Chain A
């Protein structure tokens, strides 16, 4: 009977072998997949097992954690001035996962990141509880406050960038929400209400909403015209008739301003002539326009590291479409971040710095794990072109539609451009009010701002203009930045 016995023994060995192989499959090959599975609550349990690290602005935390005493999720996230900072922090919820910085830097905040391995190991020996590291942002509390309070009850967004480095100084979106209200484990009501609200409070308008830019896009068209030699002297008359015909169409370009016929580029920007810029866009041609827009960052998502939507400049439009695109209509659409980048590049003498909002990642013992260095993204225009653009934009503020943004401070020059973008079927909806601007001192430009006001309750339709609604907000933000710098 021993021969079959040995064979059965081999069979039993094979059974055990099959189990060993299967175990390797489940616990080694599939481990990462199973760990990252959305159904796996361990990630969340782990996330809230210890107090999370904090997100820091101006050296002070804008987040904290409280012991909620739950069986599953021990600590609950709370926020200081949640609605104001929500577009920056995102939320970290015990039930609904997390987003933005709370999600992207989750590893550091929970202390699970590989870069914190040494700290964890040390804590294991000293018997300390695991701690999360901190995320230090580039934001400025004063600028953010000015932006958020400036927007007030209006629907809109503000992005402010330090042109020299690309540091994001303000990132506001209204109406906003308080992430504290959805942080706990029984906040379903608040979550549903926020998600179903018509005003979309959880939408990050500064990064994720794309708006038709209207006239503020004209600075890009001006940049393309100067860079491609279509205009050399900004004060020379452009050969543009009043009632310039849109190519491939019988329609004429409508101007809202008077005195656009044959006017100079400088004056055309000052009073925002549609005809001049549509014609210039046509002269430059679609491909060169696309090239310029893309150098400024259009048609690509930006990672700050929080992702922004891609702004659009149509690559396949016909001549007529391109002419309309060049005055920020047709298919052109942009995030507030994108327009802030355009402004910052011009203010920084043609050098576009990659926008970012995380300055440092810090270990629990305050050691710096990662320091973000400013990084050049592209050079859309030459310094000469940039200076001409600055000259024109400063003219807009001192003589033109942007007068409301003038800081009237000694040694501070302000350049800007207004925009009132019509949208909707036959422009039936209330227009968007845009304003982009920068401030400049002898040491360079400390701040570039883009403001969009989507819908302003109680303002007459006729009164919705970039200069009237958006410029004061931009002014407040610039003022706050300059004051904070002393």
Chain B
């Protein structure tokens, strides 16, 4: 039995810590958004924006703190994750600040709510809380395997979080999707946190049950079919996903959780049959819900031909605005601060912030952003590959898989590839829940990657080594 296998991805032995690489990349991750900030200011006012120094220093400070914490408490962590997240968060702030200055959005806010307050300072605060969360994860979570202890607590927590928006008086219906709750003046999107908690639950649960789920099966038409009683978990998750779809009207959250579970089930059991079953169940569920639930049908209409129903349905009209925003960006975009993505109006800086990227930075900019997200996913998958314990593997894979699905659901939604959902682009969009939860996600991935890349402790000298001899028969 060999101790070290499959080390082709990240060497487990004598790996350099790569902390200086991370620092250099972080410098870029701070400087690029500062330039973007300058660009917006020059485009809108024609002069260097007054807040540039403050913004640059703030971002640099947050990045610096995060870096020092990683350097001290997770020295072998993946060097790309932190700079990528910082860059996306920084650019997200710039985009939000840019939309804050739209006279049309200001006028709309005053008309609808009687006042206008800029979102960028709030998002800066949320980002700081997010970094604090990241630091907290690294400080408190010395070993990710600790999380395994909380498997069933996580399950309960996840269910509560998912169902909170349905509680009367607490949940809020925002543009058809019920994925928000209001507590004391704050709006929280519990789904973002549920994503993390569920990943922990799935990892813990599947690690224990994987053998039963993988081995006890019958072979049928080339597939290993699971036993009836082993179907319990997948059916439960499927049912919960459908409930979310029907009652919260949110395809994104539903798809995200079910997809994450199927991915982790497949990774844990190595059985293709789970994927086939998962796909079948997802299609069956989606089709049957779409055929009898009117609001889901409306979303599908808004997706299939938004221009046809734009006159009557607000969701269609909004989708046409988003598409035209992307279209007007063309290949190189209008330039930061020079587009008209504010025509989208509602949720321009949250759900639809990607349209601003599309309009002002163009096809080129959108592809760069997608590749940034792709890189985060890739580093997450590498972390999973390098992790030495099955729980870490599953957790890293679950988190990166969920991240990938979220990117797909959100970006695909705004670009009209799939029906639109109420989720937001991680780090980019305005919203405290999203940015805080995603910094926590990056924190967990960094913790797992640190454990994975940390040089294995030198084997203790074995006093019996010399005396032991191989006895050949």
Residue numbers of A with Cβ under 8 A of B are 1-9, 11-13, 15-16, 18-20, 22-24, 26-28, 30-35, 37, 39-42, 45, 71-72, 127
Contact = CB atoms under 8 A, between A and B. Distances in A.
Contact of A22 (B266, B327, B373, B415): B415
Task: Give chain A's interface secondary structure class.
Answer: helix
Which residue among A11, A41, A127 has the maximum number of chain B CB atoms within 10 Å of its CB? Answer: A11
A16 B367 CA distance: 10
Interface in B265-308: 266-268, 270, 307
A19 B412 contact: yes
Contacts of B343: 41-42
Interface centre among A22, A23, A37, A127 (most CB of B within 10 A): A23
A288 to B, nearest CB: 51
A31 B404 contact: no
Given A13-B374, A15-B404, A35 B328 contact: yes
Nearest to B270: A4
A42 B324 contact: yes
A15 B405 contact: yes
B6 A2 contact: yes
Given A5-B397, A12-B378, A20-B370, 5 more contacts: A6-B385, A8-B397, A9-B378, A40-B324, A127-B46
Contacts of A72: 104
Instruction: Tell which of B270, B327, B374 has the most Cβ of chain A within 10 Å.
Output: B327
Interface in B315-364: 320, 323-324, 326-331, 340, 343, 358, 362-363
Interface residues of B, number: 52
Interface in B46-67: 46
A82 B386 CA distance: 76
Contacts of A127: 46
A8 B259 CA distance: 11
Q: Which 9 A-B pairs have the closest CB atoms?
A: A34-B327, A27-B363, A12-B404, A16-B374, A9-B381, A15-B408, A22-B417, A40-B324, A4-B267
Interface string B370-394: 1101100110010011000010011
Nearest to A15: B408
A28 B367 contact: no
A295 to B, nearest CB: 45
A127 B47 CA distance: 11
A34 B307 CA distance: 10
A12 B331 contact: no
A36 to B, nearest CB: 9
Contacts of B223: none
- Which applies to chain B's interface (DSSP): helix, strand, loop or mixed? helix
Interface of B: 6, 46, 103-104, 107, 263, 266-268, 270, 307, 310, 320, 323-324, 326-331, 340, 343, 358, 362-363, 366-367, 370-371, 373-374, 377-378, 381, 384-385, 390, 393-394, 397, 400-401, 404-405, 407-408, 411-412, 415-417
A32 B416 CA distance: 17
Contacts of A16: 370-371, 373-374, 377, 404, 407-408
Interface centre among B46, B373, B408 (most CB of A within 10 A): B408
A28 B328 contact: no
A175 to B, nearest CB: 33
Contact of A19 (B107, B263, B370, B401): B370
Given A16-B404, A27-B331, A127-B46, A8 B326 contact: no
A39 B381 contact: no
B437 to A, nearest CB: 19
A40 B328 contact: yes
A23 B371 CA distance: 12
B416 A26 contact: yes
Contacts of B377: 12, 16
B415 A23 contact: yes
B104 A23 contact: no
A131 B366 CA distance: 30
B393 A5 contact: yes
Contacts of A9: 378, 381, 385
A8 B401 contact: yes
Nearest to B105: A71
A127 B46 CA distance: 9
A15 B256 CA distance: 13
B407 A23 contact: no
Contacts of A30: 323, 327
A7 B407 CA distance: 19
Contacts of A27: 326-327, 329-331, 358, 362-363, 366
Counting chain B CB atoms within 10 Å of each CB, the highest count among A13, A26, A33, A34 belongs to A26
A42 B408 CA distance: 28
A3 B405 CA distance: 20
Contact of A15 (B104, B307, B329, B407): B407
Contacts of B46: 127
A361 B320 CA distance: 35
A12 B381 contact: yes
B107 A42 contact: no
A1 B393 contact: yes
Contacts of A24: 363
A5 B267 contact: yes
A166 B206 CA distance: 85
